[in-house]
């Protein structure tokens, strides 16, 4: 052992484990473990990536000027209040490092996204969770968990891995109940899948307040998880802080090109959204018919609960699905050990998944 000592918190981190993509001895894998989408990358993005391959000796535009302008026009928001990142994960990490440190608390809900505690600990801050109600963010519980040490509140809306969301009235009530010196981060990674009238991804709240930021990603709806591209929209005060602390070339020119093209790909988005809504509800309905509980999810995955300690437990289900070449996501790291999270794949993949699940439950 050397005498090197990382900052407090670092050694408490359990490294994030992504969904697996291979099973030994199985050739044909159906991967429904990482919410990556059924159709591959948006075709327009693939074309755009190919077009910039020959300028990869050049540094990218560190200001992501064209992409921010395009996002600004699409959402009718000020490009100066947008910061792009290597995935929205990067933005989440930058926010914690900028606004919280040792002695500070970072608050999120019980089954909130795992990057929140990781980012908090990496900054030496203390992650704190608030109870959920019916696997949904509970604004009152959240507000009761605030202390004078709270610096940041994260809400994924819809949340991963529960799939549930809170309406904009509840998000407004949360903001209103938080002190002004607390940063509210609305992580809207699945906003593109939402069609509910009472939902807002966060733009309205960011427009009205100085201490709220919304984050978005190209990894889910646009099928670009591999390119690493996300963005945040916040007050100029917040984006100024992010622009000072981010790496100068944090987004590659491949990602910038892919993002610009994907934003225009309305056809791909419409097709993906329609497919997702249909197969998500189909998956939930059929799982319920097998006697399994599901949340009603608004993202691109279903959360299915299995009986506790029984031959039909989630652990056995996971193993059985694997024996059929199907990889879903175990949820123990989220405190949902009885649940499996299943991403919505192609029609063929969902039929294969449900056939395997039906066989498992009938044994
Ligand atoms: C997938 C996901 C992200 C991260 O997305 P990247 O842009 O790929 O970093 C952030 N938040 C939630 C809730 C997610 O599910």
Which mutation among 17, 220, 303 tests ligand 1's pocket best, with the greatest number of atoms within 8 A of CB?
220
Contacts of 249 (CB under 8 A, 6+ apart): 59, 60, 62
In a domain, 195, yes or no: yes
Q: Which residue has the tokens 């993949």?
A: 349
**Greater pLDDT, 109 or 9:** 109
* CATH at 151: 3.40.640.10
Ligand 1 atom 11 nearest Cα: 189
Task: State the pairing for strand pair 329-330/293-294.
Answer: unpaired
What is the Å distance from ligand 1's center to 84 Cα? 14
Q: Is the pLDDT of residue 18 over 90?
A: no
Closest CA to 186 of 303, 170, 195, 196: 170
For the chain, the domain total comes to: 2
Q: Is the pLDDT of residue 217 over 80?
A: yes
User: Considering 240, 263, 286, which residue would you say is the last residue of a domain?
Assistant: 263
Same domain (yes/no): 258, 284 = no
User: Considering 263, 279, 302, which residue would you say is the last residue of a domain?
Assistant: 263
What is the Å distance from ligand 1's center to 151 Cα? 21
Same domain (yes/no): 220, 276 = no
Q: Is the pLDDT of residue 330 over 80?
A: yes
User: Nearest 5 degrees, angle CA 161-CA 176-CA 142?
Assistant: 40
Collapsing DSSP to helix, strand or coil, 127 comes out as strand
Q: Is the pLDDT of residue 1 over 80?
A: no
- Looking at residue 98, its pLDDT comes to 98
In a domain, 5, yes or no: no
pTM exceeds 0.85, yes or no: yes
Same domain (yes/no): 255, 110 = yes
In a domain, 325, yes or no: yes
* CATH at 290: 3.90.1150.10
In a domain, 7, yes or no: no
Burial class (CB in 10 A: 0-12, 13-18, 19+), 28: exposed
- Looking at residue 23, its pLDDT comes to 84
What is the Å distance from ligand 1's center to 34 Cα? 10
What is the Å distance from ligand 1's center to 363 Cα? 36
Q: Is the pLDDT of residue 162 over 80?
A: yes
User: Considering 220, 240, 263, which residue would you say is the last residue of a domain?
Assistant: 263
In a domain, 81, yes or no: yes
Atom of ligand 1 nearest to the CA of 161: 15
What is the Å distance from ligand 1's center to 105 Cα? 21
Same domain (yes/no): 94, 241 = yes
- Looking at residue 110, its pLDDT comes to 95
pLDDT class of 71 with cuts at 50, 70, 90: very high
pLDDT digits (tens, 9 = 90+) for 142-158: 999 999 999 999 999 99
**343: containing domain:** 19-40+267-362
In a domain, 104, yes or no: yes
Q: Would you say the CB of residue 217 lies under 6 angstroms from ligand 1?
A: yes
In a domain, 272, yes or no: yes
Same domain (yes/no): 295, 335 = yes
């Amino acid at each position: 052992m050397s005498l090197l000592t990382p900052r407090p918190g670092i050694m408490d981190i359990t490294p994030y484990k992504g969904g697996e993509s291979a099973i030994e001895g199985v050739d044909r894998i159906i991967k429904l473990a990482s919410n990556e989408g059924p159709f591959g990358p948006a075709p327009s993005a693939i074309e755009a990536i190919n077009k910039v391959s020959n300028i990869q000796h050049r540094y990218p535009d560190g200001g992501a000027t064209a992409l921010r302008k395009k996002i600004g026009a699409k959402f009718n928001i000020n490009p100066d209040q947008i910061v792009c990142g290597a995935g929205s994960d990067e933005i989440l990490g930058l926010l914690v490092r900028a606004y919280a440190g040792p002695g500070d608390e970072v608050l999120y809900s019980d089954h909130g996204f795992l990057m929140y505690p990781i980012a908090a600990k990496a900054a030496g801050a203390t992650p704190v969770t608030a109870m959920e109600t019916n696997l949904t963010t509970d604004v009152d519980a959240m507000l009761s968990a605030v202390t004078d040490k709270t610096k940041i509140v994260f809400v994924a809306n819809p949340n991963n891995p529960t799939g549930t969301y809170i309406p904009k009235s509840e998000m407004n009530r949360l903001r209103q109940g938080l002190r002004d010196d607390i940063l509210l981060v609305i992580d809207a990674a699945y906003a593109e899948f939402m069609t509910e009238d009472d939902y807002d991804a966060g733009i309205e709240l960011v427009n009205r307040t100085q201490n709220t930021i919304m984050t978005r990603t190209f990894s889910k709806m646009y099928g670009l998880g591999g390119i690493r591209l996300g963005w945040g929209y916040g007050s100029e005060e917040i984006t100024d802080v992010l622009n000072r602390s981010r790496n100068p070339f944090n987004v590659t020119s491949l990602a910038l090109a892919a993002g610009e093209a994907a934003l225009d790909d309305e056809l791909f988005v419409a097709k993906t959204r329609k497919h997702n809504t249909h197969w998500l509800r189909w998956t939930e309905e059929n799982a319920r018919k097998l006697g399994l509980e599901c949340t009603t999810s608004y993202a691109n995955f279903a959360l299915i609960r299995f009986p506790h300690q029984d031959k039909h437990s989630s652990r056995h289900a996971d193993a059985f699905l694997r024996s059929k070449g199907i990889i879903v996501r175990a949820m123990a790291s989220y405190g949902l050990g009885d649940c499996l999270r299943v991403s919505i794949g192609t029609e063929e993949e969902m039929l294969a998944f449900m056939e395997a699940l039906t066989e498992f439950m009938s044994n």
